[in-house]
Amino acid sequence: MKLSGWGRFPVVDSWALGYNHQTWWSESFIATGNHRSYGDAALAPVHLPILPRNRLIAFNEQSGLLTCEAGILLSEIIEMFLPRGWFLAVTPGTKLISVGGAVASDVHGKNHHIQGCFSEFVESFKLVVPNNQTKTCSRIDNPDLFYATCGGMGLTGIITQVSFYLKPVKSQWIEQTTIKTANLKHTFEAFEQYQDSPYSVAWIDCLASGESLGRSLLMVGDFAQDGDLDYQAKNNLTIPMDFPSFVLNSLSVKVFNSLYYGKAKKGESQQRLGIDAFFYPLDAINDWNRIYGKHGFVQFQFILPKAVSFDGLEVMLKRISQSGMGSFLAVLKLYGAENQNWLSFPMGGYSLALDFKMQSGLVTFIRELTDLVVQLGGRVYLAKDALLTREQFEQSYPKVEQFRALRKDMRLDAHFQSLLSQRLGL
């Protein structure tokens, strides 16, 4: 079958391994979840679908510790537990990912600046390594495997079971404040001003230039203290076909950007939103990746250390604006300190995430941007990446040699391979 990541680029012919583990060890493969990583992290000629393993195993009503098989989707967990007053302690911008995928990409969300990555709430997990050995990994048991696996892009084994903490909430509603900023400096000031707010993210108008460069809508918020927990997932819109390529040209993106920015009130405004509208706005549209047409798109997410964030972003935004390559979504966020995981993406600083429709000249352009990111001491998010070079990777992920050594020692490199691992020499 044809397989691709959420960006629909690249595409690979892949066949699925069966449920029975006896068939697993004769060739290399990668375990896959819901195929929501954007690039080639979950692509390989052979893959092992993990979604069929989706049972709950235990839940502690006092501590919120949930133990489940790795194939369960975050959306299922929300549907089951939000009505009982529990929510994910860390959630990325889509709920349509598996718990195993959340660990493998060590995902993060709007509360990274306070709570860190998904792995901070993982107590332990079970990892199947070659020849069906199951390792229980935590910060105490097999700590190396723990730190390598969280963020390890599935290259250390098959994550089959995860124990992690949910957090108690009193409402299914979020109290949000939207701050409309005029330029990049103003945006940074607003982030600093609201850094105690539990959730924050800015939508940035990448195509604005001159004095408006970096103008944004900063959205901060937290769960309401009152309200109901009567949560029900809604039916979604579906994009029924690939949009023709001309739909998303730079002009239409510019118009979209202006309308989005323009509709927000000046200064600060307050809203009360459901969790889906606040955390997962794009999940409301099934297959939204099809708006980029059949050639797919590349999402480019990088982070810069805080000290160089402002100057660096100014340069990056100018180049993106000049390129006219059009980015539908650009998300800016202030992050908290980095964790101990060997390949996790976040570090203390600002991250920008943008989509580019696949087009001629894009690969070169992104490689140039990446060079700049790496020079500035930043890095690119592997869960979204399809274009990072081995050199760029080695310069920006300092624990890569540790990771390679572990793979070699445990003979993981012979069994777990993806296009990403081959591209980056992992």
Partner 1 sequence: MTESPWLLVLGANSDMAIATAKRYAQAGFNLYLASRNLEECEKNATDIRLRYQVEVQSFKFDAQDFISHADFYASLVVRPQGVVLAFGFMADQKVAQNDFALVKAMIDINYTGAVSILEIIAADFEQRQSGFIVGISSVAGDRGRMSNYIYGSTKAAFSNYLAGLRHRLIQSSVSVLTIKPGFVATKMTADLDLPAKLTAKPEQVANTIFKAVEEKKSTVYVKPIWRLIMLIIVHLPNLVFHKTKM
Q: Does the footprint of partner 1 cover residue 310 (CB under 8 A)? A: no
Q: How far, in Å, CA of 166 to CA of 60, rounded? A: 10
Asked whether the beta carbons of 347 and 335 are under 8 A apart, the reply is: yes
Q: Does the footprint of partner 1 cover residue 52 (CB under 8 A)? A: yes
How far does CA 25 lie from the centroid of its chain? 29
Of positions 11, 16, 140, 251, contacts partner 1 by CB under 8 A? 16
Shortest Cβ 162–partner 1 spacing (Å): 14
Instruction: Enumerate residues 6+ apart whose C-beta is below 8 A from 47.
Output: 3, 14, 15, 16, 17, 29, 30, 31, 32
Q: Does the footprint of partner 1 cover residue 241 (CB under 8 A)? A: no
List, as one string, the DSSP characters of 257-275. Answer: HHHHHHHSPSSEEEEEEEH
Nearer to partner 1 by Cβ, of 16 and 233: the residue is 16
The residue type at 158: I
Nearer to partner 1 by Cβ, of 50 and 218: the residue is 50
Nearer to partner 1 by Cβ, of 80 and 291: the residue is 80
For 323-347, the three-class secondary structure string (H helix, E strand, C coil) is HCCCCCCEEEEEECCCCCCCCCCCC
Residues 257-286, one symbol each (x = binds partner 1 by CB under 8 A, - = not), give ------------------------------
Shortest Cβ 67–partner 1 spacing (Å): 10
Sole window of 56-64, 317-325, 334-342, 415-423 interacting with partner 1 (rule: CB under 8 A) = 56-64
Peptide bond into 10 cis (omega under 30): yes
Q: How far, in Å, CA of 122 to CA of 135, rounded? A: 15
Dihedral angle over CA of 179, 183, 186, 190, nearest 10: 30
Q: How far, in Å, CA of 410 to CA of 412, rounded? A: 5
CA neighbours closer than 13 Å in the CB half-sphere of residue 110: 25
Sole window of 18-26, 158-166, 203-211, 361-369 interacting with partner 1 (rule: CB under 8 A) = 18-26
Decide: helix, strand or coil at residue 27: coil
Of positions 55, 294, 295, 408, contacts partner 1 by CB under 8 A? 55
Residue that the structure tokens 């993060």 belong to: 108
Nearer to partner 1 by Cβ, of 15 and 260: the residue is 15
Nearer to partner 1 by Cβ, of 55 and 294: the residue is 55
Shortest Cβ 77–partner 1 spacing (Å): 10
Q: How far, in Å, CA of 55 to CA of 64, rounded? A: 17
Q: How far, in Å, CA of 243 to CA of 246, rounded? A: 8
Q: Does the footprint of partner 1 cover residue 15 (CB under 8 A)? A: yes
Token pair for residue 305? 């250390």
Nearer to partner 1 by Cβ, of 210 and 240: the residue is 240
E strand residue ranges, 224-267: 237-238
Q: Does the footprint of partner 1 cover residue 2 (CB under 8 A)? A: no
Q: Does the footprint of partner 1 cover residue 59 (CB under 8 A)? A: yes
Residues 140-159, one symbol each (x = binds partner 1 by CB under 8 A, - = not), give --------------------
Shortest Cβ 44–partner 1 spacing (Å): 15
Token pair for residue 395? 């310069």
Q: Does the footprint of partner 1 cover residue 58 (CB under 8 A)? A: yes
Q: Does the footprint of partner 1 cover residue 251 (CB under 8 A)? A: no
Nearer to partner 1 by Cβ, of 61 and 196: the residue is 61
Q: Does the footprint of partner 1 cover residue 1 (CB under 8 A)? A: yes
How far does CA 128 lie from the centroid of its chain? 24
Shortest Cβ 293–partner 1 spacing (Å): 23
Of positions 12, 65, 80, 239, contacts partner 1 by CB under 8 A? 80
Q: Which residues pair with 217 in a beta bridge?
A: 180, 203
Q: Does the footprint of partner 1 cover residue 233 (CB under 8 A)? A: no
The residue type at 19: Y
Of positions 18, 143, 324, 425, contacts partner 1 by CB under 8 A? 18
Binding region for partner 1 (CB under 8 A): 1, 15-19, 23, 49, 52, 55-59, 80
